[in-house]
């Protein structure tokens, strides 16, 4: 059963269409929702929480209809907003306990779950101090803890890595991975950075201007492409020439040569060429796609065919 | 070697009880009521409410003490006049604490966290207003009770009359608390910065009572006591005092109150309008904030 399914979801505001006929279904696991700022990610989350009725279309979360079963959905999901949402004058413990009780957890359970959850997100002694004195990284952890404290089946994490330094970002991404893998809680995580989602997600949904661009498993984005990257110590240009003479489609890209794979013979060709020239071969690998390439392709999609070809970034898979 | 280690026993799912709406509502009410007195928050948050509560106790304790010595019945304050007499202190309490309940969570964007949980918009507003009302009721009714119990202990005459007046005064206290909380919460909810919130609530009470006093002064000098009474409906303390005088048999503590039973009914209707209006306005305010 899909954890989230939308059919023809459209959200129009007076000045802007935030979501435009979005139909997508995702299975349990860690799901990334990617889009530029203003692509409609936060609006989609509010609709899925049952807080904002869509203009048209329907959606279900954990098999429950957003229009009729909003309260039941909100009992079984957690939400971490992208903005600051913490009162500065209470301690993390006090705050998370309160939020647990707001989900209906009895007092003792609320305290135990709050302590457990804060430990899982990596807040220890400092959880007794008022939140006002916390660093951004610690605040993000408290925000995450309040979303997890009632043991939801699904959490919506809106831009959880926003404002974090690289180390904090890595830790947050590890945590998200653990929430999906160890805690067994499905995650919908939004970001405008594809690279980080590539690391933690099983499935990535890309929206742009409120429209679905693509929804598929991460592996599908990063399948092997039909090009070979070749790196030699020196003599790149010589090798380029030799390969070209033997009829391979080859082009230089930075320190590398990129060779289109025509078949098994291409590998032999590179090997022979390198041997012939007596070069030192450092690397020869089949290149994988990056999720980012989806965005690099997108300007091409709506335009007339052919008009966009010169703009293709180097190395884009074809 | 450290002797104690933290054993990571991994993530445990929660499959215990999950209570329903009534529990959530009660928890939010208790949390807000505690917040109104700064409980569960740093020491400096407790200073103001407790100082004000202490000041509220002084006249009651003082008048009982004086009565105990002099046995003069006049020195005991009337129960129904307690709130109007100490209206400045009550207004300051409301001004400092209503923003804690109404605007703190708006300002720090905590509100959406409630509504992304099984907390209804109306429940949220009702719990908040109920908490502020209870805090104000405690602030006013405790000294009134001290006054009554102190009177009993020091043997005030006509103790049966006293009980009747005391109970009527408690109803009055509840109405004061409800109307003042409703006004204070709305004003605070629209001034998210705490400092402005405090000033705005004070200003509403100062301006309304000053304007009403000016109008009443002019009316009284023209010996138009009816106009003076009706004008009193536009100052919160005077308004509730009108209900106390006309419907609860109290003596008036304000300059003038609206005449007759009709005056009392109109005053009560205005109180109800203020309370329901406040719930409606707060409902819209928080609902909007929950979506931002």
pLDDT tens readout for residues A82-113:
999 999 989 999 999 999 999 999 999 999 99
Q: Which two tokens stand for residue A302?
A: 């709506």
Is the four-CA dihedral B69, B74, B75, B79 of positive or negative sign?
positive
Give the integer Cα–Cα distance in Å for A147 and A145.
Answer: 5
Q: Which two tokens stand for residue A118?
A: 């804060």
What residues in A contact B11, CB-CB < 8 Å?
116, 120, 182-184
Is A106 close to B16, i.e. CB distance below 8 A?
yes
Q: A137 vs A160, A167, A312, B91, B231, CA distance in Å?
A: 10, 10, 38, 40, 57
What residues in B contact A84, CB-CB < 8 Å?
108-109
CA of A142 vs chain B CAs: smallest distance (Å): 12
Top residue of B5, B8, B11, B22 to mutate, by most chain A CBs within 10 Å, is B11
Mean pLDDT score of chain A, rounded to an integer?
Answer: 86
Q: Tell me the fold of A4-221.
A: Rossmann fold (3.40.50)
Mean of pLDDT values over A243-265: 84
B95, B198 Cβ separation under 8 angstroms? yes
- Report the percentage of chain A scoring pLDDT > 90: 54
Across the interface, which of B11, B40, B109 has its CB nearest the CB of A83? B109
Across the interface, which of A74, A84, A119 has its CB nearest the CB of B116? A74
Confidence of residue A296 (pLDDT cuts 50, 70, 90): low
Q: Which two tokens stand for residue B231?
A: 């004008």
Q: Is the pLDDT of residue A311 over 60?
A: no
Q: What are the strands, taking DSSP E only, across B205-256?
A: none
Q: Domain boundaries in chain A?
A: 4-221, 224-288
pLDDT tens readout for residues A126-156:
999 999 999 999 999 999 999 999 999 999 9
pLDDT tens readout for residues A30-84:
999 988 888 889 999 999 998 899 999 999 999 999 999 999 999 999 999 999 9
Is the four-CA dihedral B219, B221, B225, B226 of positive or negative sign?
negative
* ipTM for the complex shown: 0.89
Closest chain B CA to residue A117: B11
Give the integer Cα–Cα distance in Å for B189 and B271.
Answer: 19
Q: Domain boundaries in chain B?
A: 21-291
A158, A42 Cβ separation under 8 angstroms? yes
The whole-angstrom distance between residue B133's C-alpha and the CA centroid of its chain comes to: 4
Q: Is the pLDDT of residue A304 over 60?
A: no
pLDDT tens readout for residues A196-241:
888 899 999 989 888 898 888 888 877 777 788 888 888 888 888 8
Beta carbons within 10 angstroms of residue B236's beta carbon: 26
Q: Is the pLDDT of residue A302 over 60?
A: no
CATH homologous superfamily of domain A224-288?
YebC, transcriptional regulation domain (3.30.70.980)
Going residue by residue through chain B (292 aa), what tens digit of pLDDT does each one get?
Answer: 455 665 566 889 999 999 999 999 999 999 999 999 999 888 999 999 999 999 999 999 999 999 999 888 888 899 999 999 999 999 999 999 999 999 999 999 999 999 999 999 999 999 999 999 999 999 999 999 999 999 999 888 888 888 999 999 999 999 999 999 999 999 999 998 888 999 999 999 999 999 999 999 999 999 999 999 999 999 999 999 999 999 999 998 988 999 989 999 999 999 999 999 999 999 999 999 988 7
pLDDT tens readout for residues A178-187:
999 999 999 9
CB within 8 A of B51, min separation 6: which ones? none
Q: Is the pLDDT of residue A317 over 70?
A: no
What residues in B contact A73, CB-CB < 8 Å?
none
Give the integer Cα–Cα distance in Å for A286 and A56.
Answer: 45
Is B11 close to A52, i.e. CB distance below 8 A?
no
pLDDT at A278: 87
Nearest to A10 by CA among A61, A63, A38, A52: A52
Q: Which two tokens stand for residue B107?
A: 């300002």
Q: Is the pLDDT of residue A318 over 60?
A: no
Give the integer Cα–Cα distance in Å for B186 and A317.
Answer: 59
Beta carbons within 10 angstroms of residue A231's beta carbon: 15
B60, B150 Cβ separation under 8 angstroms? yes
């Amino acid at each position: 059963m899909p954890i989230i399914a939308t059919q023809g979801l459209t959200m129009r505001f007076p000045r802007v269409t935030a979501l435009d006929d979005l139909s997508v279904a995702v299975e349990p696991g860690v799901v990334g929702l990617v889009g530029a700022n203003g692509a409609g990610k936060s609006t989609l989350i509010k609709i899925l929480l049952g807080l904002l009725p869509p203009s048209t279309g329907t959606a279900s979360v954990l098999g429950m209809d957003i229009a009729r079963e909003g309260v039941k959905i909100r009992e079984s999901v957690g939400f971490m907003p992208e903005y600051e949402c913490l009162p500065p004058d209470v301690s993390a413990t006090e705050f998370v306990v309160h939020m647990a009780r707001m989900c209906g957890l009895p007092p003792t359970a609320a305290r135990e779950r709050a302590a457990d959850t804060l430990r899982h997100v990596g807040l220890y002694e400092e959880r007794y101090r008022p939140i006002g004195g916390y660093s951004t990284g610690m605040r993000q952890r408290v925000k995450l803890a309040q979303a997890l404290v009632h043991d939801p089946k699904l959490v919506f994490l809106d831009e959880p890595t926003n404002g974090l330094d690289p180390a904090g970002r890595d830790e947050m991404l590890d945590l998200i991975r653990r929430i999906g893998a160890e805690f067994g809680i499905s995650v919908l995580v939004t970001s405008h950075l594809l690279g980080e989602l590539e690391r933690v997600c099983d499935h990535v949904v890309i929206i742009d201007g409120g429209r679905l661009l693509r929804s598929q498993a991460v592996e599908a984005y990063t399948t092997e492409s039909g090009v070979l990257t070749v790196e030699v110590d020196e003599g790149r240009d010589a090798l380029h020439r030799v390969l070209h003479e033997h009829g391979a489609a080859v082009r230089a890209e930075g320190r590398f040569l990129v060779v289109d794979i025509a078949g098994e013979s291409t590998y032999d060709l590179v090997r022979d060429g390198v041997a012939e020239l007596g070069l030192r071969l450092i690397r020869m690998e089949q290149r994988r796609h990056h999720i980012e390439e989806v965005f690099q392709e997108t300007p091409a999609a709506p335009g007339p065919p052919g008009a966009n070809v010169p703009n293709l970034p180097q190395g884009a898979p074809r | 070697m450290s002797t104690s280690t933290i054993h990571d026993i991994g993530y445990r799912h929660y499959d215990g009880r999950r209570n329903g709406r009534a529990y959530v509502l009660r928890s939010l009410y208790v949390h807000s009521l505690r917040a109104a007195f700064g409980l569960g928050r740093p020491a400096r948050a407790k200073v103001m409410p407790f100082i004000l509560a202490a000041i509220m106790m002084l006249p009651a304790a003082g008048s009982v003490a004086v009565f105990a010595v002099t046995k003069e019945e006049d020195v005991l304050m009337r129960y129904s006049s307690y709130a109007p007499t100490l209206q400045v202190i009550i207004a300051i309490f409301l001004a400092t604490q209503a923003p804690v309940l109404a605007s703190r969570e708006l300002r720090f964007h905590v509100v959406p966290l409630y509504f992304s949980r099984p907390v209804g918009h109306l429940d949220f507003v009702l719990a908040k207003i109920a908490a502020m009302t209870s805090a104000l009721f405690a602030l006013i009714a405790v000294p009134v009770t001290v006054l009554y119990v102190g009177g009993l202990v020091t043997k005030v005459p006509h103790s049966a009359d006293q009980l009747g007046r005391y109970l009527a005064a408690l109803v009055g206290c509840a109405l004061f608390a409800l109307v003042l909380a409703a006004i204070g919460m709305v004003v605070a909810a629209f001034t998210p910065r705490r400092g402005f919130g405090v000033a705005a609530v004070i200003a509403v009470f100062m301006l309304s009572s000053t304007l009403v006093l000016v109008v009443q002064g002019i009316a009284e000098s023209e010996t138009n006591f009816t106009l003076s009474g009706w004008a009193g409906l536009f100052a919160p303390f005077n308004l509730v005092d009108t209900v106390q005088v006309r419907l609860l048999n109290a003596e008036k503590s304000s300059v003038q109150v609206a005449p007759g039973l009709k005056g009392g009914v109109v005053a009560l209707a205005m109180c109800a309008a203020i309370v329901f209006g406040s719930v409606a306005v707060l409902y819209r305010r928080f609902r909007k904030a929950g979506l931002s």
